[in-house]
Amino acid sequence: MIKLKSKHVLLRALTPEDLDFLELVENDERFWYLSDTLQPFSRVVLKEYLDHSYMDIYEAKQMRLVLALHNKQPIGFIDLYDFDPKNKRAGLGILILENYQSRGYGTEALELMLDYAFDVLDLHQLFASIIEQNTRSLKLFQSFGFEIVGLKKDWRFNDGDFQSEYLLQKIKHVH
């Protein structure tokens, strides 16, 4: 059985009611470097995205889930992207609003997503790209067995400066 719920958080599909939250996050310039966004999204474009969010990961090659508290309050997103079923791999990203960071929610969400990716989607590996300065995210991913396999120097231009980005991988080990 698929379990996308833990002690404090749940991962759920996007719904039309998420439009305001999606607009808040996607149009927050502090997060644009994560997706190489250069301009705000209109509500029309975001609504269209929501209207197509029902697409299966095999069709869309990505999956975005809302990271929410049990009271239904959305606090972030967790994404599988660059889904490659032939090679059994996908990228993994997580974004949690600042007010909800350092409370264990990321740990719970990541654990749920890893179980889903490896047990349900039967992936062999996940990868993540994390900027060098994001030590909390690096520590979180490494605590789940992600290993740094490379450093892309001066990879992202953000806040008037170049930032290097680590590439991390977690390969499923079969016992």
Instruction: Average the pLDDT over 67-86 and give the result.
Output: 93
155 CB contacts (<8 Å, ≥6 apart)?
131, 162, 163, 164, 165
Q: Is residue 93 part of a domain?
A: yes
CATH no. for residue 57?
A: 3.40.630.30
Q: Which domain holds residue 39?
A: 9-126
pLDDT digits (tens, 9 = 90+) for 80-119: 999 999 999 999 999 999 999 999 999 999 999 999 999 9
> Residue 54: is its pLDDT beyond 80?
no
Q: Is residue 102 part of a domain?
A: yes
> Residue 23: is its pLDDT beyond 90?
no
Element containing residue 158 per DSSP (H, E): strand 147-158
For the chain, what is the domain count?
1
Going by their DSSP bridges, the two strands 147-158 and 125-131 should be labelled as unpaired
Q: Is residue 169 part of a domain?
A: no
Q: Is residue 156 part of a domain?
A: no
